[in-house]
Chain A
């Protein structure tokens, strides 16, 4: 079973707009990571946020983490057509025996139209 759930399942926006997607998870985590996947390709790591962090930025990406609500959000600002992809959150468990065994959600499909 998958640990995370992304919301929405699909998102369609125009270039220049911001895109926000959310991830909820079930069990305590060591860190949460966001990945991007272009159609039929491998995953590209975007950003990692640790359980003791609340917000992180990387370029046009902003990630928040609320461990009390077991949720995270990914914001892409000023979106571009090249941002069209599926976005996945993945959690790394809290206990050492679960480290590295990333648990992914089902993803949010983002389409950015010119």
Chain B
């Protein structure tokens, strides 16, 4: 499968724990995006990378959130000290320059 992949697909954690998600974009894509989607809503932009550089972070992304894209390939999104309000689907997308964004299947996070 040459599409965008995300791991894990589901994560259940207790409040206060740290979690890390991984996204593998389509190999030739230089841009990578993270979005968050809560139930009944559309995705909301969190941050994006061009190659390994993180170009922007939404104000939705508190200090507990950090994202990296070492070597401009896969990306990780870490949430420290999780809160119940962090429960959501975390979606990753990639694109070639400003082209169409291809989305992965998402990681569903449940914080108990």
Contacts and interface: CB of A to CB of B under 8 A. Distances in A.
25 contacts: A33-B100, A41-B105, A42-B4, A42-B91, A42-B103, A42-B104, A43-B43, A43-B93, A43-B103, A48-B100, A90-B43, A99-B98, A100-B48, A100-B95, A100-B98, A101-B33, A101-B45, A101-B58, A102-B35, A102-B43, A103-B45, A104-B42, A106-B40, A106-B41, A106-B42
Interface residues of B, number: 26
A103 B41 CA distance: 12
Nearest to A48: B100
Interface string B69-112: 00000000000000000000101010100101111111010000
A45 B104 CA distance: 11
Nearest to B100: A45
A18 interface: no
B98 A101 contact: no
A104 B42 CA distance: 5
Q: Which of A40, A43, A99 has the most CB of B within 10 A?
A: A43
Q: Which of B42, B44, B95, B98 has the most CB of A within 10 A?
A: B42
B42 A90 contact: yes
B42 A42 contact: no
A40 B9 CA distance: 10
A106 B38 CA distance: 10
A107 B40 CA distance: 8
Interface residues on A, range: 20 to 34
Interface of A: 2, 4, 33, 35, 40-45, 48, 88, 90, 99-107
Given A4-B42, A100-B33, 7 more contacts: A2-B41, A42-B91, A44-B103, A88-B42, A90-B42, A99-B98, A100-B48
Contacts of A103: 45
Given A43-B91, A45-B100, A48-B100, A104 B106 contact: no
A100 B58 CA distance: 13
B31 interface: yes
Contacts of B41: 2, 106-107
